[in-house]
Copies of this chain bind each other. A is one copy, B any other.
């Protein structure tokens, strides 16, 4: 049976002041009406019913997650006592899924990406499931054909074709420089690694045992209390001891049984405010406006307000203005990667109520 596992452990500092400690990125609505995590749920409908969803998130986010996704059973929401990157997160979900259903196939995806159209996504999911039905030991990745020479993403080099739109993985390439990225774009042998995976729960557990014995031991230890009254205590005791490592580094870069399904959908990792301009239409001057705003002689700017507050720009270019009830960000668009630095400064200056 196919299950969806949503990884929702991020903090989303780069979306300050909309994102906060208590409201990380996956709960934001950056376009349309639904939050990012709701959109992740929606794109699997009707392929995967709500009671086959699982979410791994920080323990402080459990109740907010339940509020956003009431369709998911409460015991499918796993609280991480602390952040430990994606390998422990995937391992935890795989352990539980294998206990519930030894034949379980997991669709693993981040909570805070944007994908469209969902039909293309669902076709890719079906193609990946078909690969696993034929070769149950496979770890299947989704490869998004690049549309620009992006330097901010990891790439997958494809190898031998296995079937239509399915390839062996030849290699992984870290974030390339501009020239290399342009070469990838020209060659057509490279995909963006969008961080979405499909595999059998038992397969990834075996791979973790092979490549991450320490993590695997911890998962086996944790498994003993799964479904018992001591589960919560065990999780709080054992999870923090797990190595903090990504599933890519922990398994994928070492495994011999990896394939990539071509996934020709629009994909955005919504890494920063810059994504607002990709997810929403622009006016004639290139401005992206969400909420109540009025602009004079301003261009190429991103404005995010509310329906209650009027943001006005006069003679501004290439800037980002985000209004929230208790804090406003005004940033040069080319400096937006420094939002983390700003948030650190706010912490240092004691503006805890704004974090």
Bin chain A's interface residue count: 35 or more
Across the interface, which residues of B come within 8 angstroms of A294, CB to CB?
342, 345-346, 349, 351
> Is the Cβ of A338 less than 8 Å from the Cβ of B17?
no
Q: Are A331 and B313 in contact (CB under 8 A)?
A: yes
In the assembled complex, A335 has its CB within 8 A of some CB on chain B: yes
- Whether A328 contacts B321 in the complex (CB less than 8 A), given A296-B341, A342-B296, comes out as yes
The answer to whether A329 touches B312, judged by C-beta atoms less than 8 angstroms apart, is yes
Q: Which residues of A in the span 293-338 have a Cβ within 8 Å of any Cβ on B? A: 294, 296-297, 305, 308-316, 319, 321, 323, 325-332, 334-336, 338
In the bound complex, what is the Cα–Cα distance between A312 and B16 (angstroms)? Answer: 10
Q: A328-B309, A328-B321 are in contact. Are A314 and B338 (CB under 8 A)?
A: yes
Residues of A participating in the B interface, judged by any CB pair closer than 8 Å: 17, 294, 296-297, 305, 308-316, 319, 321, 323, 325-332, 334-336, 338-339, 341-342, 345-346, 349, 351, 354
Cβ distance A14 to chain B, nearest Cβ, rounded Å:
11
A276-B206 Cα distance, complex, nearest whole Å: 67
Which has the most chain B C-beta neighbours within 10 Å: A308, A315, A323, A329?
A: A315
Residues of B within 8 A of A339 (CB): 314
Kindly identify which residue among B296, B310, B321, B342 contacts A327, using a CB–CB cutoff of 8 Å: B310
Nearest first, the 6 closest Cβ-Cβ pairs linking A and B are: A315-B335, A315-B332, A314-B331, A310-B327, A296-B342, A310-B354
Q: Counting chain B CB atoms within 10 Å of each CB, which of A310, A319, A327, A334 scores highest?
A: A310
